[in-house]
Structure 1
Amino acid sequence: MIERFETFTTNIASIYKNIVKIKKYEMNKIGLKGTHVTCMNFLNNSPEGLTAAEICVLAKENKAGISRVLADLLEQGLVEYVNAEDTSDKRKYRAKVILTPKGISYAQKVNAAINNAVSFGGSDLSDETRTVFYSALKTISANLEQYCDELERNDEHE
């Protein structure tokens, strides 16, 4: 069991570190930061727009981090708020955000970089192995999330 833990955690940590490096390298080429990747990807996949709250849930990121990313993207003219007359911080969090035409162009570059990295990372896997891997990864993630929720609930009752 300990060996499985070590194998799992060291490989997940290694994958995460490499993802951070790839994001940084690829985004530097187009003048963005690695933190922009996830947000741009979700917005590109949702042309009708997303609220900051929805992006937080999808990206599993905190409100402050997503707010900073959106502020950066807004400043660079890559996103805009839709139908938001009042753009105070509270209202922005609930307003839909969409990519601008410039943002769509950048998102296409982001998606090309994502596709290259994902293809390279899984290049030695068969379709069947890839399907099993992602299914297992999703299950482990959901189970660990449930385990953490239970830990938090137990902590509240003590």
Structure 2
Amino acid sequence: MAEDIAARFDGYSQAWANLATDGIAGFWAQESFHFYKAEEVAAVFTAFDDLLSYWRGNEGLHEGAELTFTDVQDLGIPGPARLVSCKMDWKIGFRPDATDANGARFRHAGKAMAGWNHVLSLWEEQGGEWCLTGWCEVPDAAPLYLTELYYRMAQ
């Protein structure tokens, strides 16, 4: 089962690389959606339409996105849903012409960022395929994160 979900993570990574909301949303069971928490957004999305709006907003900001998922582990909760943890390394390039929701130049326009998070995701099997129903990405606390940053930069 963990191998099946690891393969779904590979597909999800490719969907993000394509920068299309419809492709990303295809990995989600919309009728069973529970939550989505991105590290860069203060809100927890609990309505799928709000999540779609967030992703569509990203389409106008992102020039490229690369997500790499490793250390995929089924945490073994009982029941049909699977709670899965993994590590996510991410790289995002922003469009030079990116604008924010108010039409002003996006403060990261033309720049790139990268980092890493831990992800807790909730999966449910529907129609013989594992689909996402919950997502939470979490960076380490600043002292831990910065220490790791220094080690990675030295490599």
Task: Calculate the TM-score normalised by the size of structure 1.
Answer: 0.24
Larger Rg: 1
Q: As a proportion of its length, which structure holds more helix?
A: 1
Task: Calculate the TM-score normalised by the size of structure 2.
Answer: 0.24
